[in-house]
Amino acid sequence: MDSLVGVVFRSTGSWYEVKSVTGKMYSCRLKGKFKIKGLKVTNPIAVGDEVVFELENENTGIIFDIKPRKNYIIRQSVHKTAHGHLLATNIDQLVIIITLAHPRTSMGFVDRMLVTAETFRIPVLLVFNKKDLLDEEAIGFQDELIEMYESLGYACISTSTVSKIGLESFKDKLKNKTSLLSGHSGVGKSSLINFIDPDLDLATSEISTFANKGVHTTTFAEMFELPGNIRIIDSPGIKELGLMDIDENELGHYFPEFRALLGECKFNNCHHINEPKCAIKDAVESGDIAESRYRSYLSMYENYDNRR
């Protein structure tokens, strides 16, 4: 039987919705045990993968091969800490939705996502959403964050679906790209997607009053094709992101502001924690590196200690 090639649009664990090059959607299963060489993951196939499959009947098929990936975003598996969980593959940019209120996004989470994107040099867009909920002081803090992240080379915009702020700019930055949208639950991902294509009418969640945490509305990653040649992969809300595939001795390389200084520390194998004459620590003290970013680095490094 002839084989077909398609892109995985939705993954529900054992079944995958695959769109063939002709535009038809097929429900596909994996052929037996499937392992990707050198990658320990709980999900061998992710949304965005280009796969080769054979038809079982008119609407279902069996996947027997995955084309080489240009990149992927991975997190530590919640249940199997030695394994990773692929959030998406073959993306043009990572879009991180951030809210400073209701719920408040952890900047440590943002920095972990940025480090993960840096491993493949994936461009990042930081979207500071729900500006309408911020008072003057919070807006000032958000502006400082935007200035800091833009100085590191990350594109930033501020949006509000309620006040209709920054929405056209958001849409423009997604055109002609495949983007993974990520963030904590309740940050407004679905509302932003619905602005681009109201016909989708994605379920949006009210913030539960308990601890201002968002209510999960997405349980599986799913790709949507929207007007303007926009492909969005909507991933389930993430509370924490455990780093995978990054050597502790190379962690500093994935912080752009560290990279320029890495050769200036007294010791070649400097971990930038307790060592004397460390260029990174000096830069933090002088204000050239933001303290919040250095704290994120220490937190990530601490995780390696906890795994030993």
How many Å apart are CA 285 and CA 306, to the nearest integer?
Answer: 27
Do residues 43 and 11 lie in contact, with contact meaning Cβ atoms separated by under 8 Å? yes
Residue the block writes with tokens 């045990």: 33
Residue the block writes with tokens 């919705």: 17
73-234: CATH topology is: Rossmann fold (3.40.50)
Of 79-93, 118-132, 160-174, the range with the lowest mean pLDDT is 79-93
Percent of the chain with pLDDT over 90: 65
Chain centroid to CA 249: how far? 23
CATH 3.40.50.1240: does it fit domain 248-307? Answer: no
CATH code that applies to domain 3-68: 2.40.50.140
pLDDT at position 80: 74
CB atoms within 10 A of CB 206: 9
Residue 223 to residues 42, 116, 235, 266: CA-CA distances in angstroms? Answer: 20, 20, 9, 48
SS3 29: strand
Torsion sign over Cα 207, 213, 219, 224: positive
User: Which amino acid would we find at residue 145?
Assistant: L
pLDDT at position 240: 65
How big is the chain by its Cα radius of gyration, in Å? 21
pLDDT at position 34: 63
How many Å apart are CA 36 and CA 83, to the nearest integer?
Answer: 12
Residues 6+ apart with CB under 8 A from 269: 249
Q: Say how many CA atoms lie within 13 Å of 170 toward its Cβ.
A: 26
Percent of the chain with pLDDT over 70: 89
pLDDT at position 165: 96
281 vs 236, higher pLDDT:
281
Residue 168 to residues 217, 228, 289, 303: CA-CA distances in angstroms? Answer: 24, 12, 32, 39
Longest dimension (CA), the chain: 67
User: Is residue 207 scored above 80 in pLDDT?
Assistant: no
Over residues 241-254, the mean pLDDT reads: 84
Tokens (6 digits) for 91: 């993306």
According to CATH, where is 2.40.50.140 located in the chain? 3-68
Query: pTM to 2 decimals?
Result: 0.89
Average pLDDT, the chain: 88
pLDDT at position 210: 37
46 vs 83, higher pLDDT:
46
According to CATH, where is 3.40.50.300 located in the chain? 73-234
How many Å apart are CA 188 and CA 186, to the nearest integer?
Answer: 5
pLDDT at position 218: 42
Burial class (CB in 10 A: 0-12, 13-18, 19+), 158: buried
Query: Contacts by 144-148 with C-beta closer than 8 Å and gap 24+?
Result: 145/107, 148/290, 148/292, 148/293
Over residues 151-172, the mean pLDDT reads: 96
How many Å apart are CA 211 and CA 254, to the nearest integer?
Answer: 32
Burial class (CB in 10 A: 0-12, 13-18, 19+), 227: exposed
Over residues 158-185, the mean pLDDT reads: 95
